[in-house]
Amino acid sequence: MRIDRWRGHAIAAAALLMAATLPAAAQDAATIAAQGNGKGAAPCQTCHTPDGGGQASGGFPRLAGENAAYLQAQLDAFASGTRDNPVMKLQASALTEAERKALAIYFSRMPAVATPDAAGTTPFADPEHLGETLATRGRWSKQVPACVQCHGPGGVGVGADFPPLAGQSANYLAAQLKAFRSGSRHNDPMGLMRNISHSLSDRDIDAVAHWFAAQPFPPKESRP
């Protein structure tokens, strides 16, 4: 009886601790996003904006409404070096694992927004509809599948491994495809994006990046 009573108290205490920790983690993440962590990590919103929409001209991606597991995986990859970016390497390395997780959850819960001027302020000339063709049909003659086969209809994203492309900055999307192609980014599952990007020209990359940037980014409940 005494052991059972002790177990009951222990379970109750653990539940209370978890309940207290979750709001604290959210509060800490909001503080880091707005002010940094005071240990070398700069405020996230400096580059990614207060609403998490990102900045198209600078190639800073949207974080708001993204999959939490995907965001955490990217922060972990920056910290470990499997995704190469000097700025984000410093940023992610200055965050603890718990802070990276809390930030990923924080941004995932923000309302989904499209990056302002995601496709750029100057219309991208694509009379052959190259971007749409690659996105929706692929180029099987070069073993390039349609992007939407993994990233979902219109590029809305599927799970933790295939992030949303719709409404994301064209500059950012193009930079990532080129990073996969060069090998400076190598945290893709089974090398999938590295294999695909090797068959894409600069023109292909710019076209498909601009096509996805122009697509609407739906709220989370409307995605697969």
Q: What is the pLDDT of residues 59-93, one digit of tens each?
A: 899 999 999 999 999 999 999 999 999 999 999 99
Same domain, 40 and 147: no
Q: Please report, in range form, the residues annotated as the binding site for heme c.
A: 44, 47-48, 88, 147, 150-151, 193
Over the stretch 107-144, which tens digit does the pLDDT of each residue have? 999 998 878 777 777 788 999 999 999 999 999 999 99
How many angstroms separate the CA atoms of 33 and 12, rounded? Answer: 32
Q: Which structural domain, as residue segments, surrounds residue 22?
A: 1-114
Same domain, 123 and 172: yes
- Secondary structure string (H, E, C) spanning the chain: CHHHHHHHHHHHHHHHHHHHHHHHHHHHHHHHHHHCCCCCCCCCHHHHCCCCCCECCCCECCCCCCCHHHHHHHHHHHHHCCECCHHHHHHHHCCCHHHHHHHHHHHHCCCCCCCCCCCCCCCCCCCCCHHHHHHHCCEHHHCECCCHHHHCHHHCCECCCECCCCCCCHHHHHHHHHHHHHCCECCCHHHHHHHHHCCCCHHHHHHHHHHHHCCCCCCHHHCC
pLDDT above 50 for 18: no
pLDDT confidence of 218, banded at 50, 70, 90?
Answer: confident
Same domain, 147 and 170: yes
pLDDT above 50 for 176: yes
The answer to whether 54 and 63 have CB atoms below 8 angstroms apart is yes
Query: Encoding tokens for residue 133?
Result: 């063709």
Query: Which of these three, 84, 114, 144, is where a domain ends?
Result: 114
pLDDT confidence of 25, banded at 50, 70, 90?
Answer: low
Same domain, 100 and 121: no
pLDDT above 50 for 172: yes
Same domain, 201 and 141: yes
Backbone angles phi, psi at 166, to 5 degrees: -60, 130
Same domain, 1 and 110: yes
How many angstroms separate the CA atoms of 90 and 209, rounded? Answer: 27
pLDDT above 80 for 219: no
How many angstroms separate the CA atoms of 71 and 58, rounded? Answer: 19
Domain CATH for 34: 1.10.760.10
Over the stretch 35-64, which tens digit does the pLDDT of each residue have? 999 999 999 999 999 999 999 888 899 999
Same domain, 105 and 131: no
Q: What is the pTM of this model?
A: 0.84
Same domain, 141 and 69: no
Q: So what's the pLDDT on residue 16?
A: 38
Q: Please report, in range form, the residues annotated as the binding site.
A: 44, 47-48, 88, 147, 150-151, 193
Query: Which of these three, 114, 145, 165, is where a domain ends?
Result: 114
Q: So what's the pLDDT on residue 21?
A: 42
Query: Which of these three, 114, 141, 172, is where a domain ends?
Result: 114
Same domain, 48 and 107: yes
Q: What is the domain count for the chain? A: 2
Query: Encoding tokens for residue 206?
Result: 């710019």
